[in-house]
Each structure stands twice: as structure tokens, then as C-alpha cells.
Amino acid sequence: MTTPSKISPATLAKLAKLGIHHRSDLLLHLPLRYEDETHLAPIDTVQAGETAQVQGIITHSEVIYKPRRTLVCRLEDNNGELYLRFLNFYPSQQKQLAVGKAIRAIGEARMGFYGMEMVHAKCRAADEDTPLNSSLTPIYPTTAGLSQTILRKLIGNALEVLPLRETLPAVVLDKLQLASFSDSVKLLHSPPPDVSASALEQRDHAAWQRIKFDELLAQQLSMRVHHRERGKRRAPALKAKKTLTHQLLKALPFALTKAQQKVLAEISHDLEQAHPMQRLLLGDVGSGKTIVAALAALQAIAKGYQVAFMAPTEILAEQHYLKLREWLIPLGLEPVWLSGSMKKKDKTLATAAIAAGTTQIAVGTHALFQASVEFKNLGLVIVDEQHKFGVQQRLALRNKGKNSRGERTEEIPQSQSQEPHQLMMSATPIPRTLAMSYYADLDVSVIDELPPGRTPIITKLVSESRRDAVCEKVRDACAAGQQVYWVCPLIEESETLELQNALETQLILSETFPEFSVGLVHGKLDNALKASTMAAFKAGEINLLVATTVIEVGVDVPNASLMVIEHAERMGLAQLHQLRGRVGRGAAQSTCILMFQSPVSELARARLKVIFENTDGFIIAQQDLQLRGPGELLGARQSGVAMLRFADLTVDEELLDLARATADELLSEFPDAARAHLHRWMSNKQDYLHV
């Protein structure tokens, strides 16, 4: 009998990044696609655009430096030759691909400068005697440092040692006419030779149908269970008193947009209920979520309750803090600040004010829900950029408010413990229906309109080969007193390379622009330094800010009017949209230059076209959805609540209908099956398991 393989702590950490916490999660870690290594193509038959496996001898190998350090090798078989090209290669690869080596390579062919070529082909040593694979090779979603080989081994082992139990009762399964769970999982991990890779990749194969159905069923079950459960929990009913909100609205230099009014009404209605609100406020960058949150806070404060307002980074939290002071101090309210990096004395003062209830609103970072922070009567928790927080953190805050009492809440029986209402905010522009199904435990409000009077950002696509012209633009902007962001490329394979690249870029740009001050922020920078650099940029002391893709979401520097994004072809649409949203915040006409380096894959080309043609985050999200399916859209894994990895709501409506009906049937007639099914799909999300 096979025994479960041992997994090292380092590997476990990487698996956790993929959402794999239990051995059984490996079973549902399904391939993204497959590679056909079951036969070899003669090199002269390889067509551009086709993924092919070829074999031959390396007859030339060279590192070229223009336009960028690249390893170029020529591979020859008896029929022809093609070129293998690598950007960001390691010395070991160079050795492996030395002249005279016999190599088997698989990759997408394209017509390049020298002729047919493959960029970043997967290569290994192989000669005529090296056997071919007998079935398609699964390619799994993975993370840096976790190879396909290791994943395949772990998954193979899990398939051998774990039972693949059927969760659906036989009568239900018969009626649905779906394939069995066990057959489906096995087939997807190692498809027999007669199943075509494209049928699997389209995800309409019977095995995929079953998996997608199961996923949708789990989602439907958890939504019902959760809804039921939330109805049983108590929260303070915060009947709206309009005095404070009217005062603030009157003092604002602008009027709320229709969309802001609509979402505010939805939130206000929720706050009046004696059950906890769990609402996600979605609105594109700059749509004005903060004022809506402030008005919601006033509804709680007016009833004698406290509000916690939390953001994922100090920079963002501080920005909120300053905004709230500007708005609330005139109303006689004094927001307090709480963050991890505060001096001990200040922290003690802040926590004392929070515990005594002398402050009505606390603004800060994660520090707000540390055990040492006790609220006197927390009524509402507001979380900005909620996708940056984990479920655990959200639950911790929810528990903070337990047993808290408002001063004028005699109407609520105190026999049952109360918890605060929760308002989550996110600028991740996702279509509403999709959001509702992702965040099954949340209601969703959308601000679908920007405040009037913004100047649209001009987007330009510029080839890397015209870098000099881009530098001229940067020089002009800085000389005119404008500020510029320069975003370094995303290098998914290696954080070290990414950092190195950012440092080099700063160096090069400092040399290019000796007359300007060039700053740098990146993910590895410690918080204090990051904050002081951002503050210097905001104050105009830095003209050009070099940044990795970590530039804080939501950071507001109105004088920054030009953004250059290097290797834009590597970035996802949501990311490009978020980055671009850093400019166009002031009165000046803003420009975003997307630099790309050829070759650009078809998918990347499609993405660049979308970002070039659109500025509306929701349209971009919709297109993103079509380009790659919803699985990855939300950076979902971190949030821990997003659920659909396999089903695609844009094409799987029928399955969704089936899943809805089946969820009702299971809950009323087969509760054990419902529990088992939820357990399989949701075991990492304790929050969903209160069946």
C-alpha cells in the first residue's frame, strides 16, 4: 500500500499560497492546461502559433544584449532548425543548452527575427532513446519555487492514498446524469491518451462538468447556510438620525453622485436592522467610497456606537485618518489614530480612549484588531481594500464588537451577544453578479459612476525600442513641475530579480535625469522608509518615483500626471487598471505610457488592447472575465472567501440552475450529504461550515 508522502515545511508554505492546506485539497488542485508530450514534431513541420514538442541538437548558443540580455540557441534536427530564446535565464540553463547537447523542447512556436522560434520553451536533455509520455502532461497553477514536478508527485500521491468519496446520494446523481466524482478527478489529473487536450482546456468535457457542478453546488449550499446563520446573529439596530449626516453633507464642497446616494441608502437600511450588515461596497478607483463610509460611520456614532475604520497599509490608513479629521472635527468628533509603528506612549493613549469610549472613531491598520485593543461599544467596522485582508482578520474584528453596548439601545434585548455591522470596500472592479457569487457571505453595493469633472487619462502603447522617446516625455513632465511614476516590470518567477531590476532602474534613471530627484519604493522596503518616501513624493521632493507593482492602491498624489509602466504585456488587466488609476487625480491632463517588449503573446496583445481602449473599470473587468475566466480575477486566494475556481458564470448558467435546485434538495432531504459536500469544498473556510 502507498503511504502518504512527507511534505517539507517549505513546500507546505508554498502549497498554502495556492490555497492547499490539507492533503485532500491536492485532489481539487486541477490542471490549468495540458502539454502534449506524447509525440515529437519534425522541426520543419512546426507552424507559428502552435505548441509543439521537438527534439534535436544545439548547434549554436549565444547571449545577446540588445535590446535586452537574452539567451538565443539554435536547435536542429534532421529536417530543420528553430531558435530557442530566453529572457531572465539562469547560468544552469545556459550550460544545459550548450552547443552539442541533445535537447527535447516544448513550447509555442512563432515567427521571429531569425526564423521560427520558441520563447521560454521547456527544455530537457533527451536523445532518441528517451521515451515519450503515454498521456497528456498536466500543467498546474503554481507559485514561485514550487515546480510542476513536485506538484505532480504530491498530487499523484494524494490520488493514491486518499479515497475519492461520492458526496451526492445515488438517486440525486442518477437524476443529474453527471459523471462520478472519482472518475472525473482521476481523468482530469491524468487524461487517457484518447482525450484531446483542447477538449479538456475548453472545460466542457464531462469530467469538468461534474467538477464545476460540485463547485457551484458548494457555493449554493454555503450561501444558504450562511444566510440562515446571519439571520440568527444580533447587531445593534442603528436607526438613522439625520442630524450629523446632514451637517457633513452641507459642509462638503460637492454633492453626492446618484450612485453614492443609492449605495448610502442601501447601507443605511442595513444598519437599521438588528442583524449584522455584511456589505461589500464596490466602486472603481476614485468613485468616492470614502465619503460614503464616513456617512455610514455617522449613523452609528449618532446612536452612541463606536466605529473602527481600517485600511491595509499605513499610508492608506493615514490618508483616511486625515480626511476623516477634516470632515468630522467640525462636527465635534475626534478620530484617533492607531497603527503598529506608533510610539508605545501614543498607542497607550489611543487604546485608552478607545476602551473608555471617549473617541467615537478609530482609524488605523491591522493594529486595530489586536487583542490589546478593546472597544467600549463597537457598532460598525469599515474595512477598506478588504481583499487585502484574510477571513481570519475579518472574523477577529467581528468578535471585537461582541457584547458591546450602545448608550441608547434599551430597545435591544441584551440577553444575546451582539456584533458590529461590517462595511467592506474594494476598488477591484468586478461585475456585481460575479461579486455576489464570489463573496457568498456578503451583500454587494456598487458605485457605478465617477464624480463629474475628471479629465480622462490618455493611454499610450509604446514599444520598448522607443524608450528614448519615453524618457523625453518624462523629462518634459518633470521640467514642467509635474511628477512621474515609473513602474518596473512584474517578474513572477523571482522576487529577487524583481528587486534587482527595480534597483537597476533607479540607477539608470538617476543617470538619465541628473537634474531630477529619483526615488524608489518596493515591496521589501521597511514600512517607515516606504512611508517617508511616499510622503516625500507627495510633498513634491521627489520628481520621479520608481516603483515595483506594489505602489499602494488608493494613494493619492494629485500632482503626479505621468505614469510609465514597463513590460505592461506581463501584467493583468486589473493590475494595469489599478496602476493607471494612480494618475489623473489632479487638474492636469494625465498620461499613462504602457511600454511593451516584443514578442507579445496573443493574450497579452488582447489585454493591452482592452486597457488602451477602455477606462471604465467595470468594462475592463468584464473583458478580463472573458479573456481568462473568473478564476483568478480577484486575487481571490488571499481573500479566502472567493470561491469559484473552475465554474465560469458566463458560460455555466445551466449548471448553476442545477446546483441551485440540488442545494435545496440536499438541505431538506440529505443534510449529511450537504455537510460532506461543503466539507470537501470549504474545509479551509471554517466560516462556512456552520451547517
List residues near ligand ADP by CB under 6 A.
Answer: 254, 256-257, 260, 283, 285-291, 427, 451, 554
Q: Which amino acid is at 602?
A: E
- State which residue, 72 or 427, has the beta carbon closest to ligand ADP: 427
Q: Which of the listed partners (ligand ADP, Mg ion, none) does 565 bind, with a CB threshold of 5 to 8 Å by partner kind?
A: none
CB-based closest residue to ligand ADP: 288
Nearest approach in angstroms of CB 256 to ligand ADP is 5
Map residue 321 onto helix, strand or coil: helix
- State which residue, 427 or 470, has the beta carbon closest to ligand ADP: 427
How do strand 306-310 and strand 361-364 relate by DSSP bridges? parallel
CA count, 13 A, side-chain hemisphere, 300: 35
Nearest approach in angstroms of CB 257 to ligand ADP is 5
- State which residue, 231 or 452, has the beta carbon closest to ligand ADP: 452
Nearest approach in angstroms of CB 382 to ligand ADP is 12
Nearest approach in angstroms of CB 34 to Mg ion is 41
- State which residue, 451 or 599, has the beta carbon closest to ligand ADP: 451
CA angle 273, 278, 284 (to 5 degrees): 125
Q: Which of the listed partners (Mg ion, ligand ADP, none) does 544 bind, with a CB threshold of 5 to 8 Å by partner kind?
A: none
Q: Taking a C-beta distance cutoff of 8 angstroms, is the pair 139, 34 a contact?
A: yes
Q: Which of the listed partners (ligand ADP, Mg ion, none) does 288 bind, with a CB threshold of 5 to 8 Å by partner kind?
A: ligand ADP
Q: Which of the listed partners (Mg ion, ligand ADP, none) does 363 bind, with a CB threshold of 5 to 8 Å by partner kind?
A: none
Q: Which of the listed partners (ligand ADP, Mg ion, none) does 409 bind, with a CB threshold of 5 to 8 Å by partner kind?
A: none
Rounded distance, CA 113 to CA 119, Å? 12
Phi, psi of 635 (to 5 degrees): 60, 40
Rounded distance, CA 31 to CA 36, Å? 13
- State which residue, 289 or 530, has the beta carbon closest to ligand ADP: 289
- State which residue, 288 or 401, has the beta carbon closest to ligand ADP: 288
Nearest approach in angstroms of CB 451 to Mg ion is 13
Q: Taking a C-beta distance cutoff of 8 angstroms, is the pair 362, 336 a contact?
A: yes
In sequence order, the 6+-apart residues with CB closer than 8 A to the CB of 683 are 21, 22, 24, 25, 689
- 520 forms beta bridges with 546
- Cell numbers for 251: 459642509
- State which residue, 36 or 448, has the beta carbon closest to ligand ADP: 448
Nearest approach in angstroms of CB 576 to ligand ADP is 16
In sequence order, the 6+-apart residues with CB closer than 8 A to the CB of 140 are 29, 30, 31, 32, 148, 151, 152, 155
Q: Which of the listed partners (ligand ADP, Mg ion, none) does 451 bind, with a CB threshold of 5 to 8 Å by partner kind?
A: ligand ADP
Rounded distance, CA 318 to CA 497, Å? 31
Q: Which of the listed partners (ligand ADP, Mg ion, none) does 364 bind, with a CB threshold of 5 to 8 Å by partner kind?
A: none
Nearest approach in angstroms of CB 555 to ligand ADP is 10
Q: Which residues of the chain form contacts with Mg ion (CB under 5 A)?
A: 554
CB-based closest residue to Mg ion: 554
- State which residue, 58 or 310, has the beta carbon closest to ligand ADP: 310
Length of the chain: 691
Please report where in the chains the cell 456614532 appears, as a residue: 301
Q: Which of the listed partners (ligand ADP, Mg ion, none) does 591 bind, with a CB threshold of 5 to 8 Å by partner kind?
A: none
Please report where in the chains the cell 440540488 appears, as a residue: 662
Phi, psi of 594 (to 5 degrees): -95, 110
- State which residue, 289 or 394, has the beta carbon closest to ligand ADP: 289
Measured between its terminal Cα atoms, the distance across the chain in Å is 35
Nearest approach in angstroms of CB 485 to ligand ADP is 17
Strands (E), 313-357: 336-338
Nearest approach in angstroms of CB 450 to ligand ADP is 8
Q: Which of the listed partners (ligand ADP, Mg ion, none) does 256 bind, with a CB threshold of 5 to 8 Å by partner kind?
A: ligand ADP
Q: Taking a C-beta distance cutoff of 8 angstroms, is the pair 64, 74 a contact?
A: no
